[in-house]
Every structure is written in structure tokens, then in C-alpha cells.
Structure 1
Amino acid sequence: MQRPPHPKAPGLAAGITEPMIHELVHRFYGDVRRDPLLGPVFNARVTDWDEHLEKLCAFWSSVVLMTGNYKGRPMPVHIGIREISPEHFERWLKLFRTAARSVCPANAASLFIDRAEKIASSLYLGIALHRGEGPAVTPPDFGEPGART
């Protein structure tokens, strides 16, 4: 069941809608599937792309519209992908930024990109700690060069 946005959701002020999320997710993951670095990682693991895209739409709806539609646990899934490296995160973010800017108005794209960068840092830290790289590990700066923080 699809829940409505929370009245204080940051995405509302940025003009984000469920159809916009759908368009962004489908555009972005179409690019990911064709990407020479990311495509093999995703295509080896995702067996039902329709189901996966629906889950990712729910994830982004929960992130920017605070709907609570997503009920997954992304950290254990990402920890299980041994080949993930900072280069994978950087490429993921580059493709995401491009897709967000092509699909969304500027305010919405900025919000999506900000959240994606924070999610990338969090996942990177979780993976590094799980791999025993220690509590002092610092994530790469996944923020866009030259962007305001």
C-alpha cells in the first residue's frame, strides 16, 4: 500500500512527486545496467528488475517524501558484494547526478543528490567496518567537487 508523503518531507518543498521518483529511478538504473563498471555487479545479482525497481522507488519515496514505503535493509545486501570499492560508489554517484539533473528541476535534483551522497558515505563506512578496516576509516568525500556543502 502506497503511503502519502509526510507533511514535513523535504521533497515536498522541492516539488518531488512519486511519478518523478519513478522516472528518476527507472532512468538511472537503466544507465546503471548498461554501465561497464556497475552493470556487471547489478546484473549478476538482480534477477527481477521490475521488482527491484519497485523496491528502489519505495526506498527513494521513503528518503525524500518520508512515506515509510520502504521496508528493506540495504546494508546487509551491500556488505555481501565483495567487489564494491570506492570507484563503484563514485561511478554510481556520477550516473545518479546526471540522471537527477536530467529528470528533475534543480531544487529536486539537489535534494536527491545530497541524499545520495550521504547514503553512499554511510554504506561505504558500513562496508569498510564490516571488512575490518577499523573504526578510524574515513569515507572518501563523495560530494561533488566544487559543490556547496
Structure 2
Amino acid sequence: MTGAERGEQITADIVQRTGITEAMIERLVHSFYTKVRSDPMLAPVFDARISDWEPHLKQMCAFWSSVALMTGRYHGTPMVKHMPLPVDAAHFDRWLELFETTARELCQPTAAAHFVERARRIAASLEMGVAGGQGVMLGVGERFRRDTTGAVQ
């Protein structure tokens, strides 16, 4: 079996086990970012950086296809993009809250659990990267916090 065939088999196995499809990913991404764009905490972070949402949504669909279905469609550097953002643990918690709510609203339980488990790992990794970019090494169980001025605590 070639590498490409193995990749196709992995994706097919995930689809069969979870019911996740590219159409489901597209609905999830678009619904989630609709919520993000109206969220008082998250919208300002995105509004400051994204003026044309269609390319971002397309990229996020590719990202979640790669994360959820192992398709390899995404070829970006999410850590590099997130490190300079003025975000902390509260932002990641809110992002997760909206993502988990959206996944549970739109997906069957097995698919929602698959998405949520990956989202939690991604959020933890990005929070650690953002902290590291600010010179903060997080210990096990520690969270990255800024004060109300945006300074690192």
C-alpha cells in the first residue's frame, strides 16, 4: 500500500467511525465563525486581522479537514499566526466554548466528540505557544494570563 493509499484508508476509517464529511466540516466552520464574529471577546481579535472572511473560512475548512479527517489539505503555520495575537487563557476558553457548542449543535455525538477532543488539544497547544512567544513557560496545569492592560501576569 502506498502512502497516498494509506492516507485515503485512514480518512475512510475516520469517516466510517465518526460520520464526519467535508460538508459537515464546512457547516461547522461557517457556523462557528458566525458566532466568533459576533462574540464580544473574540470578534475584536479577528476584526483587527481579517477583512475578507471567505479566504479565511476556506483555509479553516482545509485546516479542520486535515485535523479531523487527516486529509492533509491544510499547509499553513497556525502557531506562527497565533503567537503575536493579544490573547490569553480566557480567549482560548471562549473559543473552545463556542466551538464545542457549535459542534454539539450540528454534529452527531461521535462526530462532535471527535472535533472537540482535537479542538481542546489545539487550544492548549496554541495557548502554550502564545505564552512562549511572550517569554512565559507554562508548567503542567498552568494557564497564560494577561492583566487588563494586556501585560503578562
TM-score by length of 1: 0.85
2:18 aligned with 1:7, yes or no?
Answer: no
Q: Report how far residue 6 of structure 1 moved.
A: 3.0
Q: Tell me which structure has the larger Cα radius of gyration.
A: 2
Residues 109-140 of structure 1: per-residue CA shift (max 9 Å, x gap): 00000000000001111111121112646454
Q: What is the alpha-carbon distance in structure 2 between the residues aligned to residue 103 and residue 119 of structure 1?
A: 20
2:102 aligned with 1:102, yes or no?
Answer: no
Query: Is the 8 Å Cα contact of residues 124 and 139 (structure 1) preserved in structure 2?
Result: no
| Structure 1 unmatched ranges of 5 or more | 141-149
2:63 aligned with 1:59, yes or no?
Answer: yes
Q: 1:37 to 1:64 in 2, by over 3 A?
A: same
| Structure 2 unmatched ranges of 5 or more | 144-153
2:31 aligned with 1:27, yes or no?
Answer: yes
Q: Report how far residue 57 of structure 1 moved.
A: 0.1
- Give the number of aligned pairs: 137
Query: Is the 8 Å Cα contact of residues 100 and 113 (structure 1) preserved in structure 2?
Result: yes
1:69 aligns with 73
**What is the percentage of aligned positions where both structures have the same residue?**
47
Q: 1:100 to 1:135 in 2, by over 3 A?
A: closer
Choose the corresponding residue for 2:87, options 84, 93, 96: 84
Q: Which amino acid aligns with 1:84?
A: V
Q: Which amino acid aligns with 1:14?
A: T
Choose the corresponding residue for 2:51, options 30, 38, 47: 47
Choose the corresponding residue for 1:115, options 108, 118, 124: 118
Query: Is the 8 Å Cα contact of residues 84 and 133 (structure 2) preserved in structure 1?
Result: no
Residues 74-97 of structure 1: per-residue CA shift (max 9 Å, x gap): 00110111x201000000000001
Q: What is the alpha-carbon distance in structure 2 between the residues aligned to residue 139 and residue 110 of structure 1?
A: 24
Residues 15-53 of structure 1: per-residue CA shift (max 9 Å, x gap): 100000000000000000000000111111112100000
1:146 aligns with none
TM-score by length of 2: 0.83
